[in-house]
Amino acid sequence: MSKNRLSMVFAVVAMAAVVLAGFFVGVQPQLAQAASSRAQQVDVDRTNASSRAELARLRKQAEKLPAMRDELEKLQASVPATASMSRFYGELYDVAGATGVTVSSITTDDALPYTPPAAEVGSSATGSAAAAPSASPSATASAAPSSEASASATPTTPAPPTTFTNPVINSSNMSLIPVTVSVDGTFDQARQFVAGTQSGERLFLINEISSAESSGAATEGAEADASAGQTWTFGGYVYVLTTDSGAAAKG
């Protein structure tokens, strides 16, 4: 092999080495950087799309904000942060005046700490035990005429309501104030009075009702006016909810 040909081979090898070195040193890092940039762009686009969706959701929520604030004000008035009993008494007198009854007395007792209802642990077991005896009557009734089966059929017991509790509401921030109010009036007037208290601004849950003849009750022989002299007594609770455990029963 001549010296010129050998030099040409070396030159070709050198050029190939330069090309390979240029690829691995200059081109390959650029390609890797471009691929990394594309991956980052995909991540940024995905993040932007998620942000746009969240922004659209927040805009829809913002449209509901005035209505939600109004609802919050109603709920705060229904269960205030202080007792505010004088304001509640005013509501009762307003309802009494609108319904035609006369308030004879209003009494309140000391506030009681709220106790969350206990979960019914044995509800499922009770339901299974109650369902088990029903198989025996149905088997016996199947051999009898249909009329006897209808007569022996036992009505099903409705399921109890689901107990709902919130761990945020407990005895440290919620209290119950017992209230007893007595009014004089007819049955219809008393019924309208109760309806008015249940639809008022303050939440007043009535769990006791009693009636008796008032001092001005109808005399014997005037049965038609007997209901006009009734005294109706309603007992229940108003509620106070506050973040300050020491202020629950104040006001």
Q: What is the DSSP string of 63-130?
A: HHHHHHHHHHHHHHHHS-SS--HHHHHHHHHHHHHHHT-EEEEEEE---EE--PPPP-TTHHHHHHHH
What's phi and psi for 173, nearest 5 deg? Answer: -125, 0
Residue 235: burial class (beta carbons within 10 Å; 0-12, 13-18, 19+)? middle
What's the rounded Cα separation, in Å, for the pair 74 and 61?
A: 19
Q: Residue ranges of the alpha helices (H) in the chain?
A: 3-22, 28-78, 85-99, 123-131, 135-142, 146-152, 187-198
**Which pLDDT value is given to residue 248?**
45
Q: Where are the domains of the chain?
A: 11-76, 79-115+167-215+227-250
What's the rounded Cα separation, in Å, for the pair 161 and 43?
A: 49
What's the rounded Cα separation, in Å, for the pair 179 and 85?
A: 10
pLDDT > 90 fraction of the chain, expressed in percent and rounded: 43
Whose CA is closest to 175, among 99, 250, 92, 227? 250
Question: Residue range 47-68: average pLDDT?
Answer: 91
Question: Residue range 29-50: average pLDDT?
Answer: 86
**Which pLDDT value is given to residue 79?**
93
Residue 198: strand pairing partners: none
**Which pLDDT value is given to residue 2?**
67
79-115+167-215+227-250 CATH, one of 3.40.50.720, 3.30.70.100, 3.30.450.20, 3.30.70.60: 3.30.70.60
The string of pLDDT tens digits covering residues 196-240 is: 999 999 999 999 999 998 765 544 444 445 445 799 999 999 999
Which has more confidence, 4 or 113?
113
- How far from the centroid of its chain's Cα atoms is residue 224's Cα? 47
Q: Give the pLDDT band (50/70/90) at residue 139.
A: very low
